[in-house]
Structure 1
C-alpha cells in the first residue's frame, strides 16, 4: 500500500488519469495534470523536502560516549542485494551501510559491547542480519561478538524479538535518523530503554544556500518519499497503540 501512495506513484497515476479523461472530460483531465505537476515539483524541491524530513530527524542527538559500559549495539535492518562478485559492504543498500558505519564508530568507543544485527532476507538468498555481519567483519569487527537476528520483518518485530535478550542492559540502538523516533517507541514498548544513535541524517544544516538549493532534485524526491514512508509508519504505529 505504501508503494502505491508514494509521491512518484501518485504522480504517475494522476498522469494516467489525465490521459484517459483527456477527450471525455478535458476539465477533469486538466485538473489531474495540474495536480500531478504540482506534486512532482513540490516533492523534488529541496526546501520542501527538507521541511518534511527535518522534524523526523531532529529528535535525538548524535551518540558520543556512554557514561556506563555498553552491553549491546543493536543495528536495525535495512536492505541488500547478494552479488557474489562484490564485497559484503558493496551489497548493502545505503541505509544498511550507513547504519553499519555508525555502529562501527560506536564499537570503537565501546569495544566491550556485543553487536546485534537484524533483518530478514526480503526475498534474497541471505538475511540482512547475516549480510551486515559479513560486512562488519570486513570492516574489522570480530565475528564472535556479532549476534544475528535473521527473522524480523519490520521494526516492531525487531523490538519484540531482540528485547528479551537486552532487557535491563545498557543498549545503543542504531538506525537511520529519520527512523529513530519510531524505533525507540517500539523498543520502549517492549521494555528496552535504549540510547539512540541516529545514523546519516538526510538534512544537513548548511548556512550556505546556493541557487541550486532551490531547483528540483531527484535526490530530494527520494528524500521526500522516505519521509512520507516514515510518516505512514508512524501513523500505523499510532493506530496499533
Structure 2
C-alpha cells in the first residue's frame, strides 16, 4: 500500500497533475456559473509556464545534480552498485531489451569496471509489475553488462528491490555476506543525493559516481546558446516539464525518506 500511495499521491502536486486538478475545479465552477471560473485556469497556466521555464528548470535540477560532481578520477572501491530504472524488458514488438534515458547508468558502470575501479558489479533492481509478472531489471542489467564485455563472474544480481531504500537494504545484505563495504554508487545525478543518504544510513561506505546529467556547464552559462535557441527556451516545452517534475518528485522522495528515517 505504501508503494502504491507513494506513486499516486504526489501526482497531485506535480505540475501537470496539479494543472489538471485546477482545470477540473474550473469546470465545476463553470457548472455553477461562478465568477471565479477563470481563476483556476489562470493558476494552471501559471504553473505550467513556471515549470517549463528554463531558469526554474535549470535551478531545480542543478541543486540535485551538482551535489556530488566528481573531481578527477574516481578512487577504487570493492564493488560497483548500479541502481535500476534504466531498462525496458523484452516484450513484443521489442526484439531485445531497450534502454531508457537513464541507460547511462549501465554504460557508466561498465566503463568503471573496465577502468579497474572495482572487480565486481552489483545490479540492483526488481520490477513493480503493475501489469502482471515482469522479469526483474537486474536480469536485464546483467544481460547488457555482458554485452559490454563485463564477465558473468563479475556480476551479482539483486532482483528484489522495488525502491531506493530496498536497493540499499538488499545490496547491504550482499555486501555483508561477501565482507565488503566500500562501493562506487552509480545512478542518475539527480537521484544521487537521496541514494547516498540511504546507503550511508545503513553504514555503507559510498563513493558517488553520478551519470545521466541533465545540466551541463553550457546549460548554466548559456555560452553555447544561439539567439534562436534562447528565444525557443521561452516557449513551454514538454522535455523541461518532464525534468522539472523529476526534480520535484526527487525532493518529495527525500522528504518522505527522511520522515521514515531511511535517509
TM over 0.5: yes
1:231 equivalent to 2:251? Answer: yes
Structure 1 residue corresponding to 2:107, chosen from 101, 110, 129? 101
Residues paired across the two proteins, number:
237
Match in the other structure for 1:75:
82
Match of 2:140 in 1: 131
- 1:46 equivalent to 2:54? Answer yes
Structure-to-structure mapping, 1:97-176, within 5 angstroms: 97-110=103-116, 112-123=118-129, 125-166=134-175, 168-176=180-188
Residue 105 of structure 1 deviates from its aligned partner by 1.6
User: Residues 236 and 54 of structure 1: is their aligned pair in 2 closer, same or farther, counting only changes over 3 Å?
Assistant: same
CA-atom RMSD in angstroms: 1.9
Structure 1, gaps ≥5 residues long = none
The answer as to whether partners of 1:7 and 1:43 remain within 8 angstroms in 2 is: yes
| CA displacement, residues 167-189 of structure 1 (integer Å, 9 cap, x when unaligned) | 55331000110110100000011
Structure 1 contact 63–198 (Cα < 8 Å) conserved: no
Once the two structures are overlaid, the 10-residue window that deviates more, 71-80 or 150-159, is 71-80
**TM-score, length basis structure 2:** 0.83
Q: Show the counterpart of 2:242.
A: 222
**1:29: how far off?**
1.8
User: Which residue of 64, 73, 79 maps to 1:65?
Assistant: 73
Contact 1:46 1:215 survives alignment (8 Å): no
1:25 deviates by 4.5
Question: 1:189 corresponds to which residue?
Answer: 201
Per the TM alignment, residue 149 of structure 1 is displaced from its structure 2 partner at its CA by 0.5
d(CA) in 2 for partners of 1:146, 1:171: 14
Using the alignment, how far apart are the partners of 2:15 and 2:155 within structure 1?
A: 38
Q: Quote the residue 1:208 is aligned against.
A: 224
- Structure 2 runs not aligned, ≥5 long: 1-8
Give per-residue Cα distances to partners, 1:88-124, cap 9 Å, x unaligned: 3x2x3222x1111111121121165200001112215
Distance 2:112 2:142 in 1: 15
Runs of at least 4 residues of structure 1 off by over 4 A?
none
Counterpart contact for 1:120–1:129, Cα < 8 Å: yes
Determine the C-alpha separation between the residues in 2 that align with 1:143 and 1:55. 37
